Every structure is written in C-alpha cells, then in structure tokens.
C-alpha cells in the first residue's frame, strides 16, 4: 500500500514558505546544467524564486518564527521527563540560525545582481525567447567547461544557504509539532477547527484514487475528497485518512 502525503497551508506565511521550499528543491534537482533544456529549467525556477522574494519581508517573518519556536521550546521545561539537554541544544541551534540569517546580505541580492541571471530572466516570458540568437550570452556560457559552470551554480546556490537552512529548521519543527491521527470523512467531506495551526498534512493511499480539496484558513477548515477519475471515480460513504494539524 502506497501512502501519499498532501500538505495545505493555513496562512499566507506558510503558503510562501512551502512555495520557496518547492522552488529550492527544484533548483537543487536541476543544478547540473549541460544544455539549453537543463539551463532553462534552472533559470526558470530561479526567476520564480526571486519573484517570491520580492513579495514580502522574508527575513523579518523567519526571524519572528525562530523566536516563536524558541519560546515554544521553553514551555517544555515544565514537562516531567523531558531531556532539557536536547531542548537547550535545539534552542542554541535556533539562536545560531537567527544570527546567521540576520548577518547575511539581503536575500537573493547576489542573484539579482548577476548579469546572466538577469538576461535570462528578462527573456523567459517571451515564447522561444531564450534561443541562441536572442541570448548569445547564455549560448556561449553553455559551451564553457562543465566544471567552471558547476562552480558558478555552486556560488549562486550557496548565497541561498542562510535562507534554505533557516527554512529547513522552521518547517521541520512545524511538521513535527503534530502526529498523524486517523479521521473519517462522510460522503467525501470533513471539517474541523485548527486554532493556531499553520499547516494541514493529510495521508491518503494511492489505491483510494482520491485527492483532497481544502478550503478555509486560520481557525477553521473543510476538506472535500474528489476522485482522480472525475467521470467514473467514486467517493466512498466513509473514508479513513491520516491527518496532522501542525
């Protein structure tokens, strides 16, 4: 039996963070650039990432979240049997990550100032706008030594490390803040409260051939389960699924 995990953000902050995590993973997966196909995959994800950066105060939001997570860890001090050495170690890690984030240059600044990234980014919205006669700079860059090109990509991605490392810690803590519990939907519908939660995580089996459509945010949400085959698929009267409200 194959389980499939679905995640749904319950606020705009989490929506942005999940999109950034997705784009960072795409960048890592396409970091080996050998031709126009792999180059445009990489640069398109880079352009999307810079667009997301331009829409909010990422550093401020993440610094606040690191502080919030530190305060949550302090609350464990009153719980019997808790290994405080582990808690303090994690708090120290959060403090160090906060310092690293605050000391880093503006998020994405090196990428915005890079001439090649800027040239490609300008042409991506034009159909076929990145071919060799439109972008001779990219064309010749794709013919330089692979090791040299790899080093350039490493520099670009390294500039994102303060953001990437911070985001990994934050999302790991949020995801681990709740365990999966079995719930049952009736005729494909389920609703509940989510006071103070940031993220819904749902587990369905591939054999169910269903996917969730989530609506609502902040304190209340509703889930409607829909068949992958919209014409012939069926939704059972009772469906058990895993849910973690983080």
Matching fold, domains 12-176 and 181-245: no
- List of residues 6+ apart from 198 with CB closer than 8 A: 9, 10, 11, 13, 14, 174, 246
pLDDT greater at residue 86 or residue 120: 120
| Domain parsing of the chain, residue ranges | 12-176, 181-245
Structure tokens at 210: 């269903």
When pLDDT is averaged across residues 208-232 and rounded to a whole number, the result is 89
The sign of the torsion formed by the CA atoms of 172, 176, 181, 187 equals: negative
| Whole-number pLDDT of residue 81 | 72
Mean of pLDDT values over 208-219:
87
Band of the pLDDT at 53, cuts 50, 70, 90?
Answer: very high
* Least confident span in 41-45, 88-92, 138-142, 186-190: 88-92
- Structure token pair of residue 213: 């459509």
Is the pLDDT reported for residue 35 higher than 80? yes
Query: Domain 12-176 carries which CATH code?
Result: 1.10.3900.10
Kindly state the average pLDDT of the residues 145-150: 96
Other Cβ atoms within 10 Å of 70 Cβ, number:
16
Q: What is the pLDDT of residues 110-123, one digit of tens each?
A: 999 999 999 999 99
Q: Compute the C-alpha angle 24/154/30, nearest 5°.
A: 45
> Which CATH class for the 181-245 domain?
mainly beta
- Mean pLDDT throughout 62-71? 92
Q: What is the pLDDT of residue 48?
A: 96
Is the pTM for the entire model greater than 0.85? Answer: yes
pLDDT in tens, 88-110: 888 899 999 999 999 999 999 99
Average pLDDT over residues 179-208: 93
């Amino acid at each position: 039996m194959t389980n499939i995990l679905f995640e749904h953000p319950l606020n705009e902050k989490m929506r942005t963070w999940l999109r950034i995590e997705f784009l960072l993973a795409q960048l890592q997966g396409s970091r080996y650039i050998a031709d126009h196909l792999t180059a445009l995959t990489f640069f398109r994800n880079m352009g999307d990432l810079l667009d997301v950066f331009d829409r909010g105060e990422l550093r401020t939001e993440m610094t606040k979240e690191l502080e919030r997570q530190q305060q949550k860890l302090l609350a464990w001090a009153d719980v019997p049997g808790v290994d405080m050495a582990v808690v303090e170690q994690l708090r120290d890690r959060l403090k160090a990550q906060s310092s690293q984030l605050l000391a880093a240059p503006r998020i994405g600044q090196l990428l915005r100032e890079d001439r090649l990234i800027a040239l490609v980014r300008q042409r991506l919205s034009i159909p076929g706008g990145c071919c060799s006669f439109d972008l001779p700079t990219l064309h010749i860059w794709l013919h330089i030594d692979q090791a040299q090109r790899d080093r350039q990509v490493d520099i670009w991605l390294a500039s994102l490390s303060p953001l990437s490392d911070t985001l990994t810690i934050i999302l790991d803590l949020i995801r681990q803040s709740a365990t999966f519990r079995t719930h049952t939907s009736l005729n494909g519908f389920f609703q509940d409260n989510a006071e103070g939660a940031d993220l819904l995580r749902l587990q369905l089996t591939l054999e169910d051939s269903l996917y969730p459509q989530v609506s609502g945010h902040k304190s209340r949400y509703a889930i409607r389960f829909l068949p992958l085959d919209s014409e012939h698929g069926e939704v059972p009267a009772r469906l058990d699924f895993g849910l973690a409200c983080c």
